[in-house]
Amino acid sequence: MLIPSHNLFIGQKGKIIQLNFEDESTKNRLVAMGITPGKFIELVHVSPFGDPLVFKIGEKKVVLRKSEASKIFADVPYKIFNLLECEIGRYEIFDIKGGRNLVEEMKSMGLYEGVNINIIHKLGNKIIIEVEGNKQELGRGRATKIFCKKVE
């Protein structure tokens, strides 16, 4: 699956497939930094306001603007969605981004990293999921903080 590198999740790796820069000087600068097709790229840090982004390419760390990262396309084995973006189907929870209270509340509902869930219904801003045989209802706010990858 080919995605722009700014859509990588922290810790997710992908193989650089193409650089879509119209400006040759920017493309040459990034190539000189070691950003070339065939190398692996990993998102390691996102600044508090979402820009710039820090990537690991080989053993080097590179800071890129989000606009530059959006033009670097990487092949990843899976894409990570927040729960609100997911369609009906089976998913594995990859991460929960929230405060300690949210994480603890989700754990008490059986939602934590590595758990498989089944999205069985979406009603506007509410999502009904099944976790280990129990149905849970989540609102939009909580759903946007739970990140999942599709399970085939």
Please, what are the domains in the chain? Answer: 2-75 (2.30.30.90), 80-150 (2.30.30.90)
Please write the tens of the pLDDT for every residue from 66-93. 999 999 999 998 888 888 888 899 999 9
Query: Among candidates 110, 81, 75, which has minimal Cα distance to 95?
Result: 81
Please write the tens of the pLDDT for every residue from 10-38. 888 999 999 888 888 888 998 888 899 99
- Residue 75: the pLDDT is 93
